[in-house]
Structure 1
Amino acid sequence: MGAEVPPVTTPREAAREAAERELSKPMYHENDPSLVDRATRAFFDWLDDLFGAASGATPGGAVGLIAVVLLVALAGAALWWRLGSPSRTTPSAGTLFDDGVRSAADHRKAADAHAAAGRWTEAVQERMRAVVRSLEERTLLDHRPGRTADEAAAEASASLPAHAADLRAAARTFDDVTYGGRTADSDTYARLRTLDLALTHTKPLLTGPTP
């Protein structure tokens, strides 16, 4: 009887490399998920874990978490409505005149034209500019570029104290419609027009030294 032939053995490292080469062939990976599929699945798994942990830590579980999210959304919406878009200039920083110098009569004419067309916001803006320009023309205010509506109202109140409250209200209205995102209406314009006409017939209080 002949001698037994010893079994053929392959070194472990060589066997591993051979197996890797075999498994790397495309035929074994035709049905594998794509990179996008794997990333999407990982993202949703992470999102599911996140909401699971949050609902577990929130009283009421998932229902409580939904209630908290809704409350936060409502608070954000209320803050946005109150303050307006963050990109808007704050009312205190907005100047009254943004173009070349025009007379009070020109601003009144423009205001009436906007009002006739139903453009109440523009009508209010032009009427407030007419008020301030008229006070400048009467030397009750000095001509100062960059003046705000609030500043004009405060300065004019010194010589027109009977209309101080109306001037401050008019300045707030101008800021609201110009920088605060609010819209004007016919009543708003009517009040400002009445103030403009009243101021033209009001004798100013002399605040200078008595001769």
Structure 2
Amino acid sequence: MGLAVGALLVAIPGPPLAPEGDDARRWAEQELSDPAYAAAQPTAFDRIARAIGDFVADLLSAQLPEGVGSLVALVAAAVAIGVIATAILVWGVPRATARSRRVPAELFGEAETRSATQLRADAASRASEGEWEAAIVLRFRALARGLSERGIVDPPPGATVHAFARRAGRSFPASAAELEAAAGAFDDVRYLRRPGTAELYRCVAAVDDAVAAARPVVHDPAGVPA
């Protein structure tokens, strides 16, 4: 029976229990490529916290006079708090800012990813070529995108230009009539196919400039009803 079991074990194929150099290196690379190892790596904040802890431990473990030890501990604690606060400012604030400045990729029912600055530049380019319809549409979109970037009025998908103008008018009451007129100009050239003019473009551009330079009376980042 013992001989039969031994023969059976020899016949079963499998990896060598003591792999040679190339096999061992390949196995190690495969094992370390597991995402679990990457997830277990300490972050930059972890390394900073560990360094602070080691620094404080070294200070407290040093042989110091009785009165000086408490003072050193207080100084070390203040330094640690300052470093942690700095790390939070450096690594925490940019992420929050990026979220607050995120704008939707749709504007008045159409895909639009350009910034307000880009839309204004494109509108000016079309105006310089006498393409007033396109210039008016682009400049009104620049107005809406600018207020969205500032977090004042954020038109949701499906919002109409007049609903946007009413909401913007509540934040900028001094320009409420001009905002409604600009929305009417957008509707005329975009949907009713009426010809645009230089005067209409100047009106839209003027209210965009006025709103961009003004402070809102009511800061309301909620969406605009359709």
Q: After the TM superposition, which of the residue ranges 198-207 and 186-195 deviates more from structure 2?
A: 198-207
Q: Report the counterpart of residue 168 of structure 1 in structure 2.
A: 180
- The gaps in structure 1 that reach 5 residues or longer are 1-94
Whole-Å separation in 2 of the counterparts to 1:188 and 1:180: 15
1:102 equivalenced with 2:114 (yes/no)? yes
Residue 214 (structure 2) aligned to one of 190, 193, 202: 202
Kept in 2: contact 1:158–1:207 (CA 8 A): no
Pairwise CA distance, 1:145: 1.8
State the 1:99 CA deviation: 2.0
Q: How does 1:17-56 map to 2 (within 5 A)?
A: none
* CA deviation after TM superposition for structure 1 residue 206, in Å: 2.8
Counterpart of 1:151 in structure 2 is 163
Distance across 2 between alignment mates of 1:150 and 1:143: 11
| Secondary structure of residue in 1 paired with 2:164 | helix
1:38-67 CA distances to partner (integer Å, 9 max, x unpaired)? Answer: xxxxxxxxxxxxxxxxxxxxxxxxxxxxxx
Superposed CA offset, 1:81-113 (max 9, x none): xxxxxxxxxxxxxx7252232210111011011
User: For residue 110 of structure 1, what is the amino acid of its counterpart?
Assistant: D
Relative distance call for 1:199 and 1:120 in structure 2 (3 A) is: same
Determine the structure 2 residue equivalent to 1:39.
Answer: none
Rate the CA distance shift 1:191–1:144 in 2: closer, same or farther, 3 A.
Answer: same
The answer as to whether partners of 1:97 and 1:129 remain within 8 angstroms in 2 is: no
* 1:97-149 CA-partner distances (Å, limit 9, x unpaired): 52232210111011011001110000000000000100111111125122211
Aligned equivalent of 2:101: none
| Distance in 2 (alpha carbons) for counterparts of 1:201 and 1:160 | 11
Question: For residue 142 of structure 1, what is the aligned residue in structure 2?
Answer: 154
Distance (whole Å) between structure 2 residues aligned to residue 155 and residue 106 of structure 1: 23
Structure 1 residue ranges (4+ consecutive) displaced by more than 2 angstroms after TM superposition: none
CA distance in 2, matches of 1:201, 1:174: 21
2:126 is the alignment partner of 1:114: yes
Question: In 2, distance between residues paired with 1:129 and 1:189?
Answer: 12
**Among residues 185, 195, 200, which one is paired with 1:188 in the alignment?**
200
After superposition, the CA RMSD in angstroms is 1.6
1:144 aligned counterpart, secondary structure: coil
Structure 1 residues 105, 192: CA separation in 2 closer, same or farther (over 3 Å shift)? same
- 8 Å Cα contact 1:160/1:205 also seen in 2: yes
Query: Aligned partner of 1:153: which letter?
Result: A
Greater Rg by CA: 1
Shift of 1:166: 0.5
The answer to whether 1:129 aligns with 2:141 is yes
Amino acid at match of 2:182: A
Residue identity over aligned pairs, in percent, reads: 36
Gap runs ≥5 in structure 2: 1-106, 221-226
